[in-house]
Amino acid sequence: MSELNKIALKIIANGKGILAADESTGTMTKRLESVNVESTSKNRLLFRETLFSSAGMKSYVGGVILYDETIKQSASSGKKIPELISSSGAVPGIKVDTGAKTLANSPEEKITEGLDGLRERLKEYYKLGARFAKWRGVYIISKNYPSKLSIYSNAHALARYAALVQESGMVPIVEPEVLMEGNHTSEDCFKKTSEVIKKCYDQLDLQKVELKGTILKPNMILPGQNSDEKIDTKKVAELTIKCLKESVPSEVPGIAFLSGGQTEKEAAKNLNQININNNTNFIMTYSYGRALQQSALKFWSKDLSNIKGTQEVFNHRAKMCSLASQGKWTEEIEKV
Ligand code: 13P
């Protein structure tokens, strides 16, 4: 277990965080098409290896979550992608769920699938160099949602996944994401997220998962995207810390937030305030997809051969997130 704890700390400690580059081919296609780049296997690889070979990787990124396609690819240098990531000092990780499907008897909600054959897939990913894994449960918020059925079913799946991942010698990232879509208040988000996270830990306990060898990847506490509520960063930090303090057992070494639709700047600013206020023993860092890649993707889309320029944009973003994970981010540094 101390081995898994060491891996977890390598990923999230010392001002580092996670680059979530595990978009499924469907999601990555949407991201590329939004900037008018054709979604070919070659283009998906080129963008990703541009980020993975940037200078920012060494200083700011402790782990990279990959998708099945990417973990099996090689960079233009000939280096295998997991080797490229390890050579920068970061830990290669892998998304192992197979997506969120309609939940039977509650068709507006989703249940994440991927447990069948997971033990065998984990063995293969370990051989390919992965040392941590990710599984995301998703929950909608409205008056009657998430339902008890969704809260229980997703927690059960997350816990069974986590047990199998530890058995295979890897660190499970437990990601219960309460979505930002909707017009709910921050108070609603606080209540539902707390309920969701508590149920996850009930189930992780039942499945005998060693919490020291795990990382939690939650959403921050925010009002819904269509809510009229105005919230400042201090309130986000206060509610987020309160929720985690009350819901997460102290053995968990750290928390790596998802960005979930926040802008790059909001995601940095809120994480920074969380770290300024952090009165827990949890490391609080980032596991961002969009909030680390958006500007770099936009820049790259204008000239796919401008590797150096794209890397500079990514380096800045990664540095902002790293500073935020230490409570050292400022508006002035953001603008540089
Ligand atoms: P975002 O930071 O874009 O929400 O993505 C993180 C992630 O891995 C979602 O599963």
Domains and CATH numbers, the chain: 2-335 (3.20.20.70)
Q: What is the mean pLDDT of residues 95-118?
A: 98
Rounded to the nearest integer, the mean pLDDT of the chain is 98
pLDDT at 336 exceeding the cut of 90: no
The better pLDDT of the pair 286, 336 is held by 286
Q: What is the mean pLDDT of residues 27-53?
A: 98
Which residues lie below 8 Å from residue 123, measured CB to CB, with a gap of 6+?
A: 168
Quick one: CA dihedral 180, 183, 188, 192, positive or negative? negative
pLDDT tens string 225-254:
999 999 999 999 999 999 999 999 999 999
pLDDT tens string 145-202:
999 999 999 999 999 999 999 999 999 999 999 999 999 999 999 999 999 999 999 9
CA of 160 from ligand 1 middle (Å) equals 21
31 lines ligand 1 (CB under 6 A): no
CA of 139 from ligand 1 middle (Å) equals 14
pTM for the model stands at 0.98
| Residue of 175, 177, 264, 334 marked active site | 175
101 is catalytic: no
Which residues lie below 8 Å from residue 146, measured CB to CB, with a gap of 6+?
A: 109, 139, 140, 178, 192, 195, 196
Q: What is the mean pLDDT of residues 289-306?
A: 98
Look at residue 111 and give its three-state secondary structure: strand
Pocket test for ligand 1, best of 215, 288, 292 (most atoms within 8 A of CB): 288
CA of 210 from ligand 1 middle (Å) equals 24
CA of 229 from ligand 1 middle (Å) equals 23
| CA pair distance 16, 12, nearest whole angstrom | 5
The pLDDT, as a whole number, for residue 1 is 62
Query: Residue 285: in which H helix or E strand, if any?
Result: strand 283-288
CB distance 282 to 248 below 8 Å: yes
Which atom of ligand 1 lies nearest, measured to the CA of 267?
2
CB distance 281 to 250 below 8 Å: yes
328 is catalytic: no
pLDDT at 32 exceeding the cut of 90: yes
